[in-house]
Chains A and B, each alone.
Chain A
Amino acid sequence: MGAATTALDVKSLTKVFHERGNKSVKAVDSISFQVNQGEVLGLLGPNGAGKTTTIKCILGLMRPDTGEIRVFGENVEACYPRVLRNMSAVLEGSRNLYWRLTVWENILFFARLHGVTSREDKAHFENLIRLFSLEDKRNVEVRKLSQGMKQKTSIVCTLARRTPVVFLDEPTLGLDVETSLELRHVLKQLASEENRTIIVSSHNMDVIQDVCRRVIILSQGRIVADDHISDLVSLFKTKAYRIILLEPVPEGLEEALASRFKGATVTGDGRRTEVRVNLLENDDIYTLMDILRDRGAIIDEISNEETDLEKAFLEIVRRERNNHESS
């Protein structure tokens, strides 16, 4: 198995916006990362974390203050705009289209700007239209389409340029559940069949978790996590349990749990009681059972609360904020 080709190499990228009154905001703060060819990378972060700025700096739409960006070994600054033959992007979804042109006219226009015009390319466009279920809308003006259809057309226009690196900034914005699932399927297919490098920035954790293997989390312009999703999730795996009792809150239970398990909660509706508790040690489960048995509690259900990417993300960002504030 040969070494993977580096598609994108970002080194010490910094972008500062200067505001009035000599104020400045560091939107991206010395970030470095690499993306291999064929990899699907997720870019996560709260609003204002620097995701879009990072993407726009890579695409040359914003000028970074410092840092070096290479796409397939070519320095973006030195080889601009020629280097763009390797990159395309969905930046503002449906706003990236000419609403007075039809779906097909938009595809042809943007592909032509990239010099993608052959007969084989047109067959590829037809295939994309089919993949995104836009056959019926091929000759319809974009302004007459629903928000989801516009979003899909925008993605098709980007993919039609056949660039090896594709950036998708919030690609699922305005898509319904079914269409979002369709998009995830197509992205996975494109990455595996066409070996495209795809960088997806989204607030939709389900999309990132489903499509990407690796994720970079940005917070306040810095990379706070860069790992495989499975590793990130396991890092934050907790022994959090939810127990349902078939009775009102037993007397003294709340105090007993609070004294032994920090943050344990007990809530009841008069007929049933819900206990939430986070176990730290392996034998804590036995102590918990002892406390419940001592109060004669009738257990109806016990479940382990699973950690997903969203929980891991929230925890990472929360810790980063705390660290930042305390420093």
Chain B
Amino acid sequence: MSGGSGTIMNPVSILVAILQRDWAMMRRYIVNTVSSLVSIYIIFLFIFLGIKGLSSYAAIGALEGTLEGTVIGFFVWTFSVIAYSDLAWSLIVEAQAGTLEQLYLTPAGFKWVAGCTVISNLALNFVPVVLLLVVMMATTGQWLNLDFISLVPLLLITILGAYGFGFALGGLALVYKRLQAIFQVFQFVLIGFLVVPQRLPWAKFLPLSLGNSLIYDVMVDGVRLWELPTGSVLTALLVGAAYFAIGVVIFSVCENIAKDRGLLGHY
């Protein structure tokens, strides 16, 4: 066996490996998956009952005091929380378990492994979260427009920023380790981004905010993707991409610090 005869780097092979791993884990942790969805639903139920009980409820922003706003906001929030926390958590768990260094030995580079983890995580969570959305719609009696052709691209644009946070927090966790408490707090920060009213001029530059508003237009008003203002869609895309890029840069800086200090295998 001689040098340089190694295999060709193949991102598809990495994606298949990670999808198979995550699917096998998901099947074995099915109780965990179901119970986390049930917990999210219970939180939603409390909010829904609270809104019903408060007739004077007239919150400003994406919720706009409507049940539709609450359902959509909750749907986007669930996706965003899964997006940022799965990546950041998986980095912590892998470092804790001892598998992170093995992933770093991938010849294509760890960034491919992280990228494929993001795709796998999105693919495997899509169906359960959409099912949760259907249950939420049934609970509220607000049947929203599920135009997936418009919805999926907008959802991807919107949660791009959340993935940026995932990379940033994951990178920080490589260096500073015990950040679990910040992860919990961050879930509520995301709610803040979703309820900021769009009429505020700077709101569109916040992560999730503009994308959530566009999703509202699609799901409530039945607007198709190509009927939305191009400027708004492009702004949402650029804002999402910018937060994603910032997250990746923070991750790279933290990764370099971790390698300098020899922290990759530590927890």
Q: Which A residues lie at the B interface, using CB under 8 A?
A: 5, 7, 15, 17-18, 37, 53, 56, 59-63, 71-74, 81-89, 91-92, 95-101, 105, 108-110, 112-117, 141, 157, 162-165, 194-196
Contact assessment for A63 and B260 in the assembled complex, using a CB-CB cutoff below 8 Å? yes
Q: Which of A81, A85, A115 has the most CB of B within 10 A?
A: A115
A163–B6 alpha-carbon span in the complex (Å): 7
A99–B103 alpha-carbon span in the complex (Å): 15
The 3 closest A-B pairs by CB, nearest first: A72-B3, A95-B98, A85-B6
Given contacts A101-B21, A108-B20, whether A113 and B6 have CB atoms under 8 Å apart is no
| B25 contacts chain A at the CB level, 8 A cutoff | yes
Stretch of B42-50, B107-115, B134-142, B226-234 contacting A (4+ beta carbons < 8 Å): B107-115
Closest-CB distance, B196 to chain A (whole angstroms)? 40
**A-B contact count, CB below 8 Å?**
138
Contact assessment for A162 and B106 in the assembled complex, using a CB-CB cutoff below 8 Å? no
Contact assessment for A95 and B2 in the assembled complex, using a CB-CB cutoff below 8 Å? no
Q: Per-residue 0/1 for B236-267: is the Cβ within 8 Å of any A Cβ (1 yes, 0 no)?
A: 00000000000000000000100111101100
Contact assessment for B101 and A105 in the assembled complex, using a CB-CB cutoff below 8 Å? no
Contact assessment for B10 and A115 in the assembled complex, using a CB-CB cutoff below 8 Å? yes
Q: Which of B7, B98, B101, B259 has the most CB of A within 10 A?
A: B7
Q: Which of A61, A92, A110 has the most CB of B within 10 A?
A: A61
Closest-CB distance, A141 to chain B (whole angstroms)? 8
Contact assessment for B106 and A17 in the assembled complex, using a CB-CB cutoff below 8 Å? no
Contact assessment for B102 and A91 in the assembled complex, using a CB-CB cutoff below 8 Å? yes
With both beta carbons as reference points, the residue of chain B lying nearest to A57 in the complex is identified as B262
Q: Which of A53, A91, A196 has the most CB of B within 10 A?
A: A91
Can you give 24 contacting A-B residue pairs, CB < 8 Å?
A56-B101, A61-B262, A63-B260, A71-B3, A81-B107, A81-B109, A84-B106, A85-B9, A85-B107, A86-B4, A86-B6, A91-B102, A91-B265, A95-B99, A96-B102, A98-B99, A99-B97, A109-B17, A112-B20, A113-B103, A113-B108, A115-B107, A162-B7, A195-B1
